[in-house]
Amino acid sequence: MEILWFLIAVAMIVGVLGPFALRRGRGRGRGVIRQVAPGSPDAADPEAYGFLRQEDQDVRLPGPDRDLLDVLDVVRATQDWRAASQLLKGTAREGEVRWQRVQSFAGAASLELAERPGVGGAWLRSWHAEAPEDPGGAQVYAEFLVQQAFRTASTGSKDFQVILDEARSECRRAAALTPEDVVPYVSQLAVARGLGYSGEEFDRLWAQVIDRAPAHMGAHLAALLYWCEKWHGSRADADRFATTAAARAPHGSLLAALPLFAVFENRPEIVVGVDFYRTAVVTKAVEGAMYAVHSARPDDPMLAHVRHLLVPFLMGAERWAEAMALFVRVDGYVGALPWTLEEDPAAAYTARRNLVVAEYESDGGSPAALRG
């Protein structure tokens, strides 16, 4: 998921972290010998674990989806929407993949527009104009408007509500094209958050979501934001929503990790030391997420999202070996929380990863031990 995605950027607070060098100068061929302390990011070599360099991290996705990446490249190069339409036509409406692909196409158009105002993302406008009855195009356009609205909010623009009003209309139009598809309703959950739906209005919308996809992780993450303290609920509301969903989750569902996302969204503004990460609430949420990761299907498209979010909590608790095991699984893709809250997700990710490598090795870890 930002994939999940459409969150307003805020500074990630992980109290045990400070600014760390993103790339090591090895001094090779320069006649330089440097002294490094054990546990320093310069004392270990991330490449020994097969980790990719910062510039090779893909910021578009939380995990691999080769078909999507190929189509994104084609659309960007040709500005022709037809490849995107074909991919969505071949993507099942059940499960999470369709939602993630819709988000990705919308995000790509939004990014292009930001890079080239007035020109970028023309392929999506053409798709919307030339094939208005294409369900995939309607869903992508509705989600694009949602993402544009929250992007304008982060810049202080007064267009936030105007764009969200248009997004709400487009969500309803997309839903009418494929009434059984949950995707337009998931996009509308963000509209509800931005426009300040009452609790009753939100509950009616949520009922439409769970009627179509009761265990949809992306939908639950979108709904969780509505109930968070910084929007329309409280810490208690968010915790109640997350724990109820986790308790009702079928075996193998990543909904068991939802309380960790609630903890993350409602974390203190300032975290110092390891005490926060070892509290009963945080520990229980982390263990629930670890259980969800170990019991989920290996091909669950939301698995990478949970693995990425687990990393800062394991780091905070100084559980270096477990954090390393997750980095091995997610390396190469950084389009997920917490990295997407940073101005440069790839830089944020590699800095923390390199620190974990150093701490892991200072505890006696090695590439051979990790493989074993």
66-213: which CATH number, 3.40.50.300, 1.10.10.10, 2.60.40.2890, 1.25.40.10? 1.25.40.10
- Between 112 and 156, whose confidence is greater? 112
Q: What is the pLDDT of residue 44?
A: 67
Crossing angle for the helix pair 303-316 and 320-330, to the nearest 10 degrees:
150
Lowest mean pLDDT of 100-104, 218-222, 237-241, 265-269, name the range: 265-269
**What pLDDT shows up at residue 95?**
85
Residue 12 CB-density burial (10 A; 0-12 exposed, 13-18 middle, 19+ buried): middle
Instruction: Please state the domain extents for the chain.
Output: 1-57+217-372, 66-213
pLDDT surpassing 70 at residue 34:
no
The CA-atom distances, in angstroms, between 13 and each of 4, 270, 276, 292, 348 are 19, 7, 12, 24, 12
Q: What is the pLDDT of residues 250-299, one digit of tens each?
A: 999 999 999 999 999 999 877 777 789 999 999 999 999 999 999 999 99
In this prediction, residue 1 carries a pLDDT of 41
pLDDT over 70 for what percent of the chain?
87
Which is higher by pLDDT, 35 or 305?
Answer: 305
Q: Is the pLDDT reported for residue 320 higher than 80?
A: yes
Contact 321, 338 (CB under 8 A): no
